[in-house]
Amino acid sequence: MLIDLRTEGINIYFLCPFLGCFCLIGASFSSGQSIFGKYKFLENILVSISQMLAIIPYLIKVKIKNESFMNTEKSKEEKKQMINNNFDDENNSIKISQGICLGVAEFLKLFIVNVGSDLFDIKFKLFFLSSNIFFLSFLQKCFLKTRIYRHQIASFIIFFALDVAFIIIVAFDDLLNYNLMQLIFIFISNLFFCFEITYEKTILNNKVLSFYKLCVYLGIFSFIFNIIASIITTIVEFNIDVDDKYKI
């Protein structure tokens, strides 16, 4: 639990997500203000490393659970059996095929939208959040057999209207000079993002697996794909003709 009910106040581990949020904001700002932001694969590699650091809260979680078992009023044999059962539950791992699938989805989610931005010299990014609601509802209906509720439909309609209004404003702004072809890359990227979330939920439902450990697996496999892509783009030069201009 995030809030420690046995003591007065908030458990110190509750502050960890907030610290991570501020670190993410700082990293995004610093990368956007420096030449670092131009190297997309380097950014993605650092994201993968950050995901692998989820091993730290995972180990803290295991330590806390083991200590809580030891503090219970049970015999040594019962405590030992409880700890062993807990270890067996947390010792589950995902299949190689599942890890590859997660790694590919994570890699393509970032790669596709960055490619679109580079091809069309996009400095101003749209997100089209209503597509996330649509893709998540559809994929969870297919994979998790969940219902689509009225509040989800209402949320989609509201966000869709706001997204369309926002795109119209951006499209008619001569200073931005936004290329609407970028929306295709945004839709595809959002699709992979929603697939990744749904697939992670499917894995967690089918396995007794900590989501911290799942985050570590995601970081490892996405790190591998980003390293491979970095090596390929370092050796091979890609020239694509867009609007009679070569984009490299």
Report the 10 Å Cβ neighbour count for 216.
Answer: 18
Instruction: For tokens 């001569």, name the residue.
Output: 174
Q: Which of 88, 85, 83, 19 is nearest to 57 (CA)?
A: 19
d(CA 174, CA 166): 14
Please state the φ and ψ torsions of residue 243, each to the nearest 5 degrees.
55, 40
Q: Which of 100, 109, 103 is nearest to 223 (CA)?
A: 103
Instruction: For tokens 């083991």, name the residue.
Output: 66
Per DSSP, the three-state class of 178 is: coil
Per DSSP, the three-state class of 9 is: coil
The per-residue b/e assignment along 25-58, b for 16 or more CB within 10 angstroms, e otherwise, is eeeeeebeeeeeeeebbebbbbbbeebbebeebb
**Which amino acid, 102?**
L
d(CA 199, CA 205): 10
DSSP notation for 100-166 = HHHHHHHHHHHHHHHHHHHHTT--S----HHHHHHHHHHHHHHHT-----HHHHHHHHHHHHHHHHH
* Residue 246, burial from CB neighbour count under 10 angstroms (0-12, 13-18, 19+): exposed
Instruction: For tokens 């989820």, name the residue.
Output: 54
Structure tokens at 91: 């010792």
Angle, helices 211-235 vs 40-52, to 10°: value is 160
d(CA 140, CA 137): 5
Q: Is the pTM of this model over 0.75?
A: no
pLDDT tens across the length of the chain (248 residues): 344 444 445 555 556 666 666 666 666 566 555 555 566 677 788 888 888 888 888 888 778 777 776 666 555 555 555 555 554 455 567 888 888 898 899 888 888 877 777 776 666 667 788 898 999 999 998 888 888 888 888 989 999 999 899 888 887 777 767 777 788 888 888 999 899 999 988 888 887 788 888 889 999 999 999 888 888 877 776 665 555 554 55
